[in-house]
Amino acid sequence: MAMSSTIKVVLGSIAFAVFWVLAVFPAVPFLPIGRTAGALLGAMLMVVFLVISPEEAYDAIDLPILGLLFGTMVVSIYLERADMFKYLGKLLTWKSRGGKDLLFRVSLISAISSALFTNDTCCVVLTEFILKIARQNNLPPQPFLLALASSSNIGSSATPIGNPQNLVIAVQSKISFEKFLFGIMPSMLLGVLVNAGILLGYFWKLLSVERGPEMVEAGDMVVENEVSSHRFSPATMSHLSSVNSQEMGSAIDAVHEGEGLGAVGISQRVSVSRSRMMSPAGEVASEANSEERNGTNNDERWKRSLWKICVYLVTIGMLIALLMGLNMSWTALTAALALVVIDFQDARPCLEKVSYSLLIFFCGMFIAVDGFNKTGIPSALWEAVERYSRIDTVGGIILLSAVILVLSNVASNVPTVLLLGSRVAQSAASISESEEARAWLILAWVSTVAGNLSLLGSAANLIVCEQARRAQFYGYNLSFLSHLKFGLPSTIIITAIGLPLIRTY
């Protein structure tokens, strides 16, 4: 693609620079408007500066990607309501044999759940639970937080629905779900195991701390109480119990503090109430009410169990449809709407949990990246390194991977995929069709694992960091430097060992 006019190149670069700065540093002092507004500002500047026309801006928005992202988010929300992630959390503690075993479980479970339910969702749901488990076992939280974030990133590389950049790659490349899965899965599995081994070696001494029996009992009590508190709604169980306790407490206080007939009258009412409760008629009524409540509770439990089974069946059906090669966007949307219908109630509370700011961010990013592409700068830069980055040579793969790693940490992984994807694929297509598909998978693998290099490398890292910092009673600050000491060597090693295993079948 030829370079545009000088004025268009300059204005397009300015608009893209505004988008990039606000996307990477959303709280810059001179314009703290956040990532989503920053993406819209960059997109608007592309149109205002006449780098692209309004019609071209609308065409740049990729609706299949937005549909797939929206559908997977809705499915993840209903899976969370169906206690899927609570069951995953229980797997972490089931017959655990200490810190090292727990670290390995965190790595494996977060990797698998991220591949199926996106890495961001996995990190949002599991972070605080992992902090609770670390406290219960008297273990330092840092190894487990790093295991969650890094394994979620690595695990999400295996499927098109694991992370946003894979969604973009799957839609643009038209690679089937099955081909994508089996092409990257060997690299993903080995990467998760090696990443867990690096973490074990890095934190071996810290994970060798033995917990005392008193910590076991206290920790188990804390977790059990917390599970119970989440199981019952405060508007029903807690409210009723608090009203009854307040009434009884006020009556007893009045007996102790009152004088004369007032106190006697109150004490008589309390004794009468107690006698009624102890009378045969009262006992019969109490037993009848108890049986009625038990029957209602049993019906509610049965209905909820049936609903949860339906949610899991719909999700399994979605995965089977994806493996069969059906349209990924419409499959995800169909599964999402099926869950809305099965729920048989107002879907607004669930739909309000969808990250619409992320969808809007993608719209702005599509326009900003398309405008920057039309300046001709990305094409000129790629032409300068294309002959050295061919994937049919070892040196070319190393150079291409280095470029993707750097750009993914400088410009973020999704813009990197949008900027490089079509160019890398075109270069590989001149070799063979299978090499073109392999180039897309290499881009997916490297851009995803690149998120582990630094704390700012992926949204999953930032989610874990922020969730850990805000967690009540378990707050922990994961610093940029502590993450970099582990992330830099881990990213380079895992990227290198995974590249030879990527194949197209």
Is residue 498 scored above 70 in pLDDT? yes
Q: Dump pLDDT digits (tens) for 163-198.
A: 989 989 998 998 999 999 999 999 999 999 999 999
Q: Of all residues in the chain, what percent are helix, strand and coil, respectively (each to 5)?
A: 80, 0, 20
User: 91 with 75: CB under 8 angstroms?
Assistant: no
Q: Would you state the pLDDT for residue 231?
A: 32
pLDDT interval class at 460 (50, 70, 90): confident
The average pLDDT across 64-89 equals 85
Q: How far apart are CA 179 and CA 58, in angstroms?
A: 31
Q: Would you state the pLDDT for residue 32?
A: 84
The average pLDDT across 29-33 equals 84
Q: Would you state the pLDDT for residue 25?
A: 76
Residues present in the chain in total: 505
Range in 89-98, 186-195, 228-237, 319-328 with the lowest mean pLDDT: 228-237
Query: What value does the mean pLDDT of the chain take?
Result: 80
pLDDT interval class at 378 (50, 70, 90): confident
Range in 113-127, 296-310, 397-411 with the lowest mean pLDDT: 113-127
Per the structure block, which two tokens stand in for 503?
A: 């194949």
Report which of residues 496 and 229 the model is more confident about: 496
For the chain, helix (H) and strand (E) counts, in that order, are: 23, 0
pLDDT interval class at 322 (50, 70, 90): confident
Q: How far apart are CA 82 and CA 86, in angstroms?
A: 9
3-state SS, residue 95: coil
pTM to 2 decimals?
Answer: 0.71
Which amino acid is present at 454? S
